[in-house]
Amino acid sequence: SAVISQKPSRDICQRGTSLTIQCQVDSQVTMMFWYRQQPGQSLTLIATANQGSEATYESGFVIDKFPISRPNLTFSTLTVSNMSPEDSSIYLCSAHGSNQETQYFGPGTRLLVL
Q: How far is the CB of 103 from another protein (least distance, A)?
A: 6
Beta bridge partners of 48: 33, 56
Buried b (16+ CB within 10 A) or exposed e, 56-90: ebeeebeeebbbbebeebbebbbebbebeeebbbb
Answer yes or no whether residue 43 interacts with another protein by CB under 8 A.
Answer: yes
Q: Does 29 bind another protein (CB under 8 A)?
A: no
Residue 101, phi then psi, degrees to nearest 5: -85, -15
Query: Rounded to the nearest whole angstrom, what is the least distance from the CB of residue 105 to another protein in the complex?
Result: 3
Applying CB under 8 A, the span of 36-44, 58-66, 70-78, 81-89 interacting with another protein comes to: 36-44
Gap between the Cα atoms of 91 and 78, Å rounded:
9
Smallest gap from residue 84 Cβ to another protein (A): 24
Chosen residue from 55, 92, 111, 113 binding another protein by CB under 8 A? 92
Reduced to 3 states (helix: H, G, I; strand: E, B; else coil), residue 11 is strand
Q: Does 102 bind another protein (CB under 8 A)?
A: yes
**Interface residues with another protein (CB under 8 A)?**
1, 4, 30-31, 33, 42-45, 48, 92, 94, 96, 98, 101-108, 110
